[in-house]
Structure 1
Amino acid sequence: MSPPTAKDPWETLRTLPMGQRIELHDPAGADWTGTIVPSHDLSGDRILQLKLESGYNVGIRVGTDFSFRAAPASPPSAASEERARAGPSSTVHPGEPIALLTTGGTIASRIDYETGGVRPVRGEREILDFYPDLLSEGPVRVVPVFDRLSENIAPNDWSILAERVALTFREGARGIVIAHGTDTLGFTSAALSFLLPELPGPVVLVGAQRSPDRPSSDGTSNLQAAARVARDRRIGEVVVVMHAGLSDTRFAIHRGTQVRKMHSSRRDAFRSRNGPPLGVVEGAEIRLESRVRPPSPRGARFDGPLDLSGRLLWYYPGLTPELAEGFVQGARGIVLAGTGLGHFASVHVDWIRRAVEAGVVVAMTTQCLEGLADPFVYATGRELHRAGVLFLDDLLPETAYVKLLWALGHATSPDEVRALLRLDRAGEFVARHPARGEE
């Protein structure tokens, strides 16, 4: 450990790199041990910001009589120790270049001390300052794409992001991590799954439930797990990597078309629909437990466009036919999120029949978190089926909506759109059979 400083410590402290761990002493009796993190816009003169051992950030006004020592690095995490014990993996290749595409969201945000909320982190340097361990297993190229919270990401942005993914692979990336806000991450992962049918490596969407300057932040561990998956040579599809439990050593790998955010704030908020995830990252090991799409030898292929004349309508008690019919005016297709096995009140059947006769594709999903939509159990389902509604088995409503936009962009006639909706394009159907009555 270096001796305490004798001159004005601020002259040295202000030049230390982000991530440097120090012990700071105030002669008045206070001591702090922590890691230097970037200061914020409202920091005053001589303010040093540290991430303490507790995980909290603190701003300290450094006096001329303060002293500090360089502190030893923090003990390695359990996950780091497991990776060190395991040695190199046959499927994960440290050193191969990957790219981190940033879109905003909590994983790329920090506390805004003016508002008390969080704001996006901007620029490559600021991101790597917050996540210095990201480079520990190989080169990472940071590519800013958007600077938005996920609720502000729109369907046109999905196409922009997919084209950027294809370009980044052509520029030499082995795999790609996309940092994204969690609220609409499932929509984006589904959209990329349909827009990128062939990939030479993994596309891994990852988010965080807690911002990086909060003590329970999951951003660092999520990003490290995602980066490991992005270097896995067995995977050639879009996946989502997030906490699989409350520990920082186990992460789930979800298929991009079968995942939903199930909790507003827990770190293990994401679940795969109607089954287990594709696999897990546990310490040094990536364990695939379901079949994954292998990398394509032909490289990345963008398959747009999306046609934005699709709609998604959730049924609720009190929804009138007039409101519903008005909502779908001008649409070429609509996904209904029905109750139970895929039900709407019978008063809606007439306008649905008129829409189908006018050439609108009407598809049904279920609002339930498990199970599927089936028209042949109750009379309401049979009525809807006779009116021309296409039941989409176990597709999540959001996945069905995104797939509808893709299908509308690739077909002109309603029959062609319906055929594309029935096609299992990106592993979106868990049940490997056509809906009854649609063979």
Structure 2
Amino acid sequence: MSPPTAKDPWETLRTLPMGQRVKLHDPAGADWTGTIVPSHELSGDRILQLKLESGYNVGIRIGTDFTFRISSASPPSVPADERAAAGSNSVAHPEDHIALLTTGGTIASRIDYETGGVRPVRGESEILDFYPDLLSEGAVRVIPVFDRLSENIAPHDWSILAERVALTFREGARGIVIAHGTDTLGFTSAALSFLLPELPGPVVVVGAQRSPDRPSSDGTSNLQAAARVARDHRIGEVVVVMHAGLSDTRFAIHRGTHVRKMHSSRRDAFQSRNAPPLGVVEGAEIRLDARVRPPSPRGARFDGPLDLSGRLLWYYPGLTPELAEAFVRGARGIVLAGTGLGHVASVHVDWIRRAIEAGSSSR
């Protein structure tokens, strides 16, 4: 490494290229060694972002009394075509590109060094800064749709997203990846499956269980696997691609109407329910183990909007008829989730009968 410098260190550090390895020393007693990674719109003044040897990203406010050493090794180079794609998010080959629709969530979040938490990425170029390897799968067009955590996505947003999917296919996308928060990802994938009964290519919903600042982050590997599936010409339906195990080697392909999040933080939290996964992604290979809906030659068809006057009522011991009837009043349809084979306490029979006679269908 080169010897430390005497002038204001920020004047030099702020000009170093991405990927440059440096060692920082704070006279207060702290030392950091890592590689420079892109800053973002939320960074404060004189903040240098480093990826440490542990794999974590950290933002360091550079004091005027800091010293540093620069590694003599050259930073990794980025091919010119990838630099151009990352800088403009343009489509290099319109006939063969996929689209990445972003909605927010952990997969599109980064660390907030003031609070210690994460917040949504703002600015579409940051996605490719976070996930530059995504470009290795081919041309990618990034389209921000929402900027919110998945718990804030409501049913009317599903129609907006579905219409955006249909439009994006008409604009020439070969396949579509939707980056989504994991908490309600299964709801969105199911809703899109019904709103888009015909598709000319894959719609792959993907998320991340671990934020990008963590060494165990699964966002990059999930996105790469999703991008591979989005280019598969055999698929014409909504699927979810997430880790099939704890390692980064296998990714399950779930049908959008059968997938459910079964753990709050495990990387393999998503599982197919009442049906096996459609297939797996292992490296560059995509293996389909079940019959998938083929692409529609008629293009994307949007079948919406959704009727939001339905109710989903879960029965539990102690649920009173008065509370249940008040909840479903005015509904056009009721899904009553009972115990076992669909059982509810006999005290609920009367209100169920009244709901049917009033015009609601219950099943």
Q: Is the TM-score greater than 0.5?
A: yes
- Once the two structures are overlaid, the 10-residue window that deviates more, 31-40 or 110-119, is 31-40
**1:219 equivalent in alignment to 2:224:** no
Q: Secondary structure at the match of 2:222?
A: helix
Q: Secondary structure at the match of 1:304?
A: coil
**1:122 equivalent in alignment to 2:122:** yes
Q: 2-side partners of 1:334 and 1:34: how far apart?
A: 56
1:69 corresponding residue in structure 2: 71
Contact 2:110 2:118 in 1 (8 A): yes
**1:196 equivalent in alignment to 2:196:** yes
Counterpart of 1:268, as a letter, is D
Q: Secondary structure at the match of 2:71?
A: strand
Deviations 1:75-116 (A, max 9, x none): xxxxxxxxxxxxxxxxxx9x9211110111111111223333
- Using the TM superposition, give the Cα deviation of residue 64 of structure 1 relative to its aligned residue in structure 2, in angstroms: 6.2
- Using the TM superposition, give the Cα deviation of residue 36 of structure 1 relative to its aligned residue in structure 2, in angstroms: 1.2
1:43 corresponding residue in structure 2: 44
1:265 corresponding residue in structure 2: 265
Counterpart of 2:193, as a letter, is S
Q: 2-side partners of 1:338 and 1:224: how far apart?
A: 40
Residues 219, 246 of structure 1: alpha-carbon distance in 2 compared, 3 angstrom cutoff = same
Contact 1:98 1:140 in 2 (8 A): yes
Q: 2-side partners of 1:152 and 1:40: how far apart?
A: 23
**1:342 equivalent in alignment to 2:335:** no
- Once the two structures are overlaid, the 10-residue window that deviates more, 273-282 or 35-44, is 35-44
**1:305 equivalent in alignment to 2:302:** no
Q: 1-side partners of 2:52 and 2:234: how far apart?
A: 39
Unmatched segments (≥5 aa) in structure 2 = 77-92
Q: Secondary structure at the match of 2:275?
A: coil
Counterpart of 1:43, as a letter, is G
Q: 2-side partners of 1:132 and 1:153: how far apart?
A: 27
Q: 2-side partners of 1:39 and 1:362: how far apart?
A: 51
Contact 1:4 1:69 in 2 (8 A): no
Contact 2:25 2:66 in 1 (8 A): no
Q: 2-side partners of 1:245 and 1:350: how far apart?
A: 47
Identity of aligned pairs, percent? 82
- Using the TM superposition, give the Cα deviation of residue 39 of structure 1 relative to its aligned residue in structure 2, in angstroms: 4.9
- Using the TM superposition, give the Cα deviation of residue 276 of structure 1 relative to its aligned residue in structure 2, in angstroms: 1.9
1:238 corresponding residue in structure 2: 238
- Using the TM superposition, give the Cα deviation of residue 124 of structure 1 relative to its aligned residue in structure 2, in angstroms: 1.1
Contact 1:5 1:69 in 2 (8 A): no
- Using the TM superposition, give the Cα deviation of residue 27 of structure 1 relative to its aligned residue in structure 2, in angstroms: 9.3
- Using the TM superposition, give the Cα deviation of residue 70 of structure 1 relative to its aligned residue in structure 2, in angstroms: 6.2
1:22 corresponding residue in structure 2: 21
Q: 2-side partners of 1:341 and 1:355: how far apart?
A: 21
Q: 2-side partners of 1:53 and 1:319: how far apart?
A: 54
Counterpart of 1:215, as a letter, is P
Number of equivalenced pairs: 342
Unmatched segments (≥5 aa) in structure 1 = 75-92, 364-439
Q: Secondary structure at the match of 2:352?
A: helix
Q: 2-side partners of 1:27 and 1:151: how far apart?
A: 41
Q: 1-side partners of 2:9 and 2:138: how far apart?
A: 34
Query: What is the TM-score when the length of structure 1 is the normalising length?
Result: 0.73
Q: 1-side partners of 2:254 and 2:172: how far apart?
A: 25
- Using the TM superposition, give the Cα deviation of residue 34 of structure 1 relative to its aligned residue in structure 2, in angstroms: 2.7
1:407 corresponding residue in structure 2: none
Deviations 1:327-381 (A, max 9, x none): 0111000111111111111111111111112220112xxxxxxxxxxxxxxxxxx
**1:33 equivalent in alignment to 2:43:** no
Contact 2:33 2:53 in 1 (8 A): no
Query: What is the TM-score when the length of structure 2 is the normalising length?
Result: 0.87
Residues 4, 258 of structure 1: alpha-carbon distance in 2 compared, 3 angstrom cutoff = farther
Residues 71, 186 of structure 1: alpha-carbon distance in 2 compared, 3 angstrom cutoff = farther
